[in-house]
Amino acid sequence: MTTQGADAGLINKVKAAVPRPLKVILRPMVRPWLAPPPADPYACADRGVGNEWTIVDRERTYKFFFLCGSWKSGTHWVQALINLHPKAYMTGEFHFELIHGGFSSYLKRRWRLPAKSRVLQDIAHESLRRCIRRSMFAQTRSHPEAVMLGDRSPRILKAMLPGAPHILLHRDGRDLLISRSYHMLRTNNPGAMLPQFAHLLRRWGPEYKLSPEKFRDTTIGLLGDDDWVRYLSRFWAESCLHDLKAMPRLISRGTPVHFIRYEDLHADLEGNRAAIYRFLGLDPAEAAPPSVETKTLPGFKSENLKSATRKGQSGEWRCSFTDRITRIFKEEAAEALVQMRYEKNTNW
Amino acid sequence: MNVIRRTIQRLGPARGALEDPTPLVRPFFVCGHPRSGTNWVSSLLNLHPRVFCDGEFHFHLIRNGIEGFQSQPWYVGSREPVRSETERAFASLVLGCLTAQAHRPAEHGGKPGATEVGDHTPRMLRMLIPPPAGRYIIIFRDGRDVLVSWTFHLLKTARPDIMHPQVRPIFEQVLPAAGESADAARQAARRLLADRAWVQHYAAGWSDHTGHDLATMRQLKADGHASSLLRLSYEELHADTQTHRARMYTFLGVKPSEASPLSRESHTAPGFGREAPRSFYRRGEVGDWRNYIDAQSHGWFLERAGARLSELGYDVAPAASTPKPLTPQSAQPTTVPPSREEKKTS
């Protein structure tokens, strides 16, 4: 037990032994002799300074930002690129949208008390924002030199702190379908899968571990299941369409959004990463160069079916799509593919 | 506003709401299955000058979000220090909201002198603020009376869109006529209560809800928190309101002798004297199900929830083959005062 812990134990014992009326009399006399409560290291994040996404700690200004987009669309890669800059530090996955969803349910039904009271709504909003700021500040203290503090969470676009810069990343849904299917087989975690697909992992997961090469055949594994292909295609299409609608709305309300496509980042890494730094108000010249070691160069040397960084290529879907997968994908996501400018029409 | 700000600052994350040695308010939560008497318990508690209970807050919806945030090992929220930060933020939010509501001026419905502040929300028993700082009152009621009460409630609110798709068609059939008169509402209720899908759907839901609550209570007791939990039964409260409300005040650490007396006006006296099928305060009787549920429907109910009724100590003997006819007095048009919601609507 630490000295402080021992003191606290002793104080609690004395407090329990003293009757309440005596405690009331003694309290003002005893309090000055007791140690002050421990300082709160994150108190600076309780309130925004000038806006909801800026805080000041010991005369140093910190700003928060967010990276979102579908899973397997390159959010890890963009995080690694951002972390090449000494004044930025991004970590994840926070998934504040889950807490945000809880607050939305809490506030929306008209017969519930919070929906009727402005004071309660203000307390809820302030509480959520304070929780986000404090959590992000607490988690990024390992990099005290960084002043731009970011969260990477694969999710749809939604302003977690109004006004904070948001980077939105998207990737061709066909590549995403292939990448996500390999990823789920590799991690083999039925708990992270929707219940209706957990049986597929139980069926194929152990086999993938033994001989992943076998799963290049897309008639087996997750890609061999029509419902899985349909679900993922629809999920991608709905996410894209949601984000395309949300982006102008957020921008018009004062939340800047920087949109990047994975394929563009591949084609012009330097130009796009410089644009990201500038979007965050940072000088691109101060960033370290991309390297194989930091996994910041586009693509990987060779395909590794047992790694989270499997291949990192764009257009890989051409080798894996069969007529069946193409038909299902078109039924669910043809329109989104055109709206995202991956295809001009559905004749591909 | 100063009182609210001071309380939030004091109980907020900076100091740690649960570690504060002298909190300005002490929270409690009233829960139970919908139509089990959570409103009545709240009204009884509010007869005491140091107790303030309001609702429905539905804090558990935020709790669901936080549990999702902490659910996966690769989420930052599942690890320290973020896990504790979100817990503190939630405790601070709950206390902030309860205090803000309680410490409004009296003319706006507040009770600035209240030290025991609570929420009544019909919901499953879950820990929002860990005991002993958070105290929980749970009320149980005979599932068959709950079924009858909820059936009338749904007919009153007339919202088939919020119903389960399995039972929506039967509601859509009876709803158009149900709003015409009190008798029409009774007839509609009888039709619904003779529908197997509706009776069994509801019985299964009630049984699951109650089973979850009983399991949570056992767990709380096993963890040594029995003193932070008060179990009530609607029927016992009905039979001896004075004794059981005194138990509630004592549980919250206030003197029963300081509470105001029961009255019809404050909806605190047991029952409402007569039946008002289209009021929030319809009847408030024990065993009213015998007037509406026949032997066949009762059998359907017991198939799904008989074991749970027995576990709670209710009689599961077969019902009469036809429901008891309504007494002339109970069938009279109502003179019960309108509910809060009805007053606001008018």
User: Per residue in A308-347, pLDDT tens?
Assistant: 666 667 778 888 888 999 999 999 999 999 999 998 888 8
Across all residues in chain A, what is the average pLDDT? Answer: 87
Residues near A60 by Cβ (< 8 Å), separated by ≥ 6? A147
Average pLDDT for A69-83:
91
The span from the CA of B334 to the CA of B322, in Å, is: 25
- Please list every residue in chain B whose beta carbon sits closer than 8 Å to the beta carbon of residue A43: 14
User: What is the pLDDT at residue B281?
Assistant: 67
The span from the CA of B144 to the CA of B203, in Å, is: 8
Judge whether A159 and A255 are in contact, CB under 8 Å: yes
Interface contact B66-A99, CB threshold 8 A: yes
In angstroms, the separation between the Cα of residue B310 and the nearest Cα of chain A is 33
**Helical (H) or strand (E) element with A131:** helix A118-139
CB-based burial label for B346 (10 Å; 0-12, 13-18, 19+): exposed
Q: Say whether pLDDT at B328 is over 50.
A: no
The span from the CA of B159 to the CA of B213, in Å, is: 27
The span from the CA of B273 to the CA of A300, in Å, is: 79
The span from the CA of B308 to the CA of B313, in Å, is: 9
| CA distances, A285 to each of A87, A89, A211, A278, A299 (Å) | 12, 16, 45, 10, 23
Dump pLDDT digits (tens) for B136-174: 999 999 999 999 999 888 888 777 777 778 778 888 887
- Please list every residue in chain A whose beta carbon sits closer than 8 Å to the beta carbon of residue B13: 40, 42, 46, 130, 134
- Please list every residue in chain A whose beta carbon sits closer than 8 Å to the beta carbon of residue B85: 42, 131, 134-135, 138
CB-based burial label for B319 (10 Å; 0-12, 13-18, 19+): buried
Query: Global pTM?
Result: 0.79
Q: Which two tokens stand for residue A215?
A: 């799963």
Beta partners for residue A32, in sequence order: none
> In B158-195, where does DSSP find H-type helix?
168-178, 182-193
User: What is the pLDDT at residue B46?
Assistant: 95
The span from the CA of B191 to the CA of B177, in Å, is: 12
Dump pLDDT digits (tens) for A125-170: 999 999 999 999 999 988 989 999 999 999 999 999 999 999 999 9
Interface contact A96-B69, CB threshold 8 A: yes
Judge whether A151 and A90 are in contact, CB under 8 Å: yes
Q: In chain A, what percentage of residues exceed pLDDT 70?
A: 92
B143 closest CA partner among B278, B311, B295: B311
Judge whether B213 and B141 are in contact, CB under 8 Å: no
Q: Which two tokens stand for residue A161?
A: 């702190």
Neighbours of A275 (CB within 10 A): 16
User: ipTM of this model?
Assistant: 0.80
Question: Any idea how long chain B is?
Answer: 346
User: Positive or negative CA dihedral for B43, B49, B50, B55?
Assistant: positive
Residue with tokens 């879907």: A317
A98 to chain B: closest CA residue? B65
Beta partners for residue B119, in sequence order: B29, B54
